[in-house]
Amino acid sequence: MAFGRLERSPTSQPMSDINMTPLIDVMLVLLVIFMIAAPLMTSSLKMDLPKVAAARSNDGGAALALAITPDGKVHVGDAVVTHDVLVSTLRQTAARQPQPDVLLSADKSVPYGRVAELIGLVQDAGLTHIGFTAQPAP
């Protein structure tokens, strides 16, 4: 007289296979992240500017020399000018034909924002050929 089952069903064995679904999901998420982030990383500029062995003008034509000193004063040629005089000088220079090049010199200690303001004034006046002067390399 047996009160239990005579047949024994095999108990479930532990699964020894790796479930690939979570791994594939993680890889697809990483792929999407890199696809979005890759164009953002390439937009930054990495520049290794060369040293200037000799600075010279490209055509020897007329040029307007602008300079910013460390104390923030703007010079046209050798003369210190105010903001209003600078704007009128730039407009008069832009009216000449052919337009002269603008050669911009700035001290290393001048903040970039100040140089950018001066470039904006030059472009607002209508001058498009702007060059930067540099000291020769030692």
Q: Let me know: does 93 contact 121? Beta carbons within 8 Å.
A: no
CATH of span 63-132: 3.30.420.270
Residues 27-45, mean pLDDT to the nearest whole number: 80
Provide the residue ranges of all domains of the chain, joining segments of one domain with +.
63-132
Helix (H) or strand (E) holding 113: helix 112-125
Highest mean pLDDT among 53-57, 123-127, 128-132: 123-127
State the CB neighbour count (10 A cutoff) for residue 74: 20
How many angstroms separate the CA atoms of 65 and 61, rounded?
12
How many angstroms separate the CA atoms of 107 and 53, rounded?
19
Which are the contacts of 86, defined by CB distance < 8 A and separation ≥ 6?
74, 76, 121
Q: How many alpha carbons lie under 13 Å from residue 112 in its C-beta half-sphere?
A: 0
Q: Which residues pair with 102 in a beta bridge?
A: 64, 130
pLDDT beyond 80 at 54 = no
For residues 86 and 3, the model is more confident at 86
pLDDT beyond 50 at 43 = no
Residues 32-57, mean pLDDT to the nearest whole number: 64
